[in-house]
Amino acid sequence: MPEQLADGVYAIEAQFEDVPMQVYVIVGDSVAVIDPGVVTTPEHQLAAGLKELGLSLAQVDTVLVTHGHHDHFGGNGVMKAHNPNLRVLAHAHDAAWIQDVDRYLAESLGPLAPYWTPPAAHTDRIRRLCGDTVAVDEVLEHGQTIDLGRGHRLHVEHIPGHTDGHVAFFHERGKVLFTGDALQGHGTPLLRRPDFYPNYSSVTDYERSLDYFAACGAEIVGTAHANVCTAHRGAQIIADSRIHLAGVQDFLAARLREAGRLTRPEAVAAVLEAWPRYRMGPNVVRSVGAQLDNLVTVGSARRHDEPSAIYEWIA
């Protein structure tokens, strides 16, 4: 049964594989879905939840995509097949990924190539979960309001960090915040594997999204992978996110001070050894790179780029 978060605002449980996930539905004059999940989500979970609300997939006319990751846009093609008049809305910076899986894989994993090569099973799985991609019909701008009718107005906040085009939505009347993947705490808990490491390409951008979440006045926080939270629980996850950032930053600073120089793979290996709850993968390689770059930003380190990134302690 969908969980009601506010009048006309619902969460539907949509776990896929061993990844917990929530999909959100807003019923105004438009019927909107926030992040329709992976290719199986619409027909496997969303349809059943909508049915409980007296609705069908064909009645969903708006898809709001928080960001261009496969578990957030992979259901778009199936949604569009059920309603050819469906509009897909996303931020310009992630639209290219949402519309083109090859480009998504090339641009999200390509920069990691010197440090981590995805096994074929990794990219095959992502392609499978994406299904058919469809065009983004409308580009979302920071600060705009989406009016779904019957008093359902969503403020759009551009919060890069997890991806360049990540947006959060704030339901003004219900004071419900939809964070997508930008509220990460100590990572995404999985049911049968080590947790996903928090995934961000810029520490300062990630901190800015946390600042927004803390200040937006949300009474209910709808995350993608960490359930629906009270404001109190949301504040705890914001605090956990900051503890994660500071903990890794202090650890890497100490390592670098001690060693003098560190390559990015050495830094990743050290983090994985210190935090065995995580495993090797794109998230930890990307985020540790962001942490090392942040040590450069704050003046503690210098980065040498040839042949690949080496960081030198200078503070």
List of residues contacting Zn ion (CB under 5 A): 69, 181
What is the smallest separation between the CB atom of 162 and Zn ion, expressed in angstroms? Answer: 5
Q: Which two tokens stand for residue 255?
A: 């390592």
Torsion of CA 207, 24, 147, 212, to 10 degrees: -10
What is the smallest separation between the CB atom of 180 and Zn ion, expressed in angstroms? Answer: 7
Q: Which two tokens stand for residue 290?
A: 């962001």
Helix axes 101-109, 120-130, angle to 10 degrees: 140
Lookup result for tokens 């990844």: 19
What is the smallest separation between the CB atom of 101 and Zn ion, expressed in angstroms? Answer: 15
Dihedral angle sign, alpha carbons of residues 172, 178, 182, 183: positive
What is the smallest separation between the CB atom of 311 and Zn ion, expressed in angstroms? Answer: 26
Instruction: Give 252-269 as a DSSP string.
Output: HHHHHHHHSEEEHHHHHH
- List the beta bridge partners of residue 215: none
What is the smallest separation between the CB atom of 13 and Zn ion, expressed in angstroms? Answer: 18
What is the smallest separation between the CB atom of 257 and Zn ion, expressed in angstroms? Answer: 32
Chain centroid, CA 146 distance in Å: 20
What is the smallest separation between the CB atom of 72 and Zn ion, expressed in angstroms? Answer: 6
Neighbours of 302 (CB within 10 A): 14
Q: Residue 114, preceding bond cis, omega within 30 degrees?
A: no
What is the smallest separation between the CB atom of 218 and Zn ion, expressed in angstroms? Answer: 20
Nearer to Zn ion, 148 or 224 (CB): 224
Nearer to Zn ion, 108 or 294 (CB): 108
Give Cα separations from 251 to 162, 181, 216, 245 (angstroms).
21, 24, 31, 10
Strand, helix or coil at 294? helix
Lookup result for tokens 């392609």: 127
> 19 phi and psi, to 5 degrees?
-105, 115
What is the smallest separation between the CB atom of 211 and Zn ion, expressed in angstroms? Answer: 20
Among residues 182, 168, 175, 171, the alpha carbon closest in space to that of 140 is found at: 168
Q: Are 34 and 248 in contact (CB under 8 A)?
A: no
Dihedral angle sign, alpha carbons of residues 6, 87, 129, 269: negative
Q: Are 245 and 207 in contact (CB under 8 A)?
A: yes
